[in-house]
Amino acid sequence: SVTSDDQKFCFKEVLDAFRLCLSENKEVYMEHYVAGWRGLVKFLNTLGSVFGFISKDAVGKVQILVSLLKGEDGSHYSTIQSMVKYELENQLVDLTKAGAHPTSGCRTLLRLHRALRWLELFLDSLRTCSEDSKTSVLCADAYNKSLSKFHPWVVRKAAGMAFCLLPGRQAFFDVMNVGTTEQVVAMLGEAIPLISEVYQITEDLYAQHNILDIP
């Protein structure tokens, strides 16, 4: 049977999810944030099985957030803002050392949030790079400027090896399944500011509550 999940990945899914992420008063809807990540994971999986180890962690974290959203206390998880308020007020977050709440929403989302910055930088370099640029180098540069500082040596090594296996720029654009190179570049130009705004709002929220270092 053909369900929407069987259909060929299109990067527009990611764009659409991030477009729906922000409420009028700039709260971030968890439902759409998670949908954005689902799209990104699908994208990663189309790049090849070596990205399995990368996507697996993201899949697990998305799953945790979905469970919270669909769970008994789901009403508190409709936005990132309400989640932070609820979990902090009810001491549901390990703030200084790992303890009773290894899968809190705040901790879990922070890991995805850090990875989102990497993605934003990487997509932006894909958008502006020349035809003969190496995606592996762009991806590694973006990683080294962002997510790598949160990873232990062994993860950095494995990530570096996976990047080397990335397809070239054109194959990348083909996998995004958006159309011509011009259309891909235009769509990235739309998606990146949206991702960037969601990132910044989350970053500011976590900074305000002093939870950017949840272990």
Distance of CA 119 to the CA centre of its chain: 7
Task: Tell me what percent of the chain is helix, strand and coil, each rounded to the nearest 5.
Answer: 70, 0, 30
How many residues interact with ligand 1PW (rule CB under 6 A)? 13
> Given candidates 22, 35, 40, 188, which one binds ligand 1PW under the rule CB under 6 A?
40
Tell me which residue of 215, 181, 10, 41 sits closest to 116, measured CA to CA: 41
Note whether 175 binds ligand 1PW by CB under 6 A.
Answer: no
Residue 129 binds ligand 1PW (CB under 6 A): no
Q: What are the residues whose beta carbons fall under 8 Å from the beta carbon of 125, sequence distance 6 or more?
A: 133, 138, 141, 142
The CA-atom distances, in angstroms, between 157 and each of 4, 122, 134, 161, 168 are 35, 18, 19, 6, 21
* d(C-alpha 181, C-alpha 95), whole Å: 45
Stretch in the footprint of ligand 1PW (CB under 6 A) among 50-58, 65-73, 75-83, 190-198: 50-58
Least separation, in Å, of the C-beta of 155 and ligand 1PW? Answer: 5
Closest to ligand 1PW by CB, 36 vs 81, is 36
| Pattern 59-98, ligand 1PW, x by CB under 6 A | ----------------------------------------
Which residue of 19, 85, 111, 156 would you call a contact of ligand 1PW, by CB under 6 A? Answer: 111
Q: Tell me the closest approach of the beta carbon of residue 33 to ligand 1PW, in angstroms.
A: 14
Q: Are 126 and 135 in contact (CB under 8 A)?
A: yes
Q: Does 162 bind ligand 1PW (CB under 6 A)?
A: no
In eight-state DSSP terms, residue 114 is H
For ligand 1PW, give the closer residue by CB, 12 or 114.
114
Give residues in contact with ligand 1PW (CB under 6 A).
Answer: 40, 44, 54, 57-58, 111, 114-115, 119, 139, 147, 155, 159
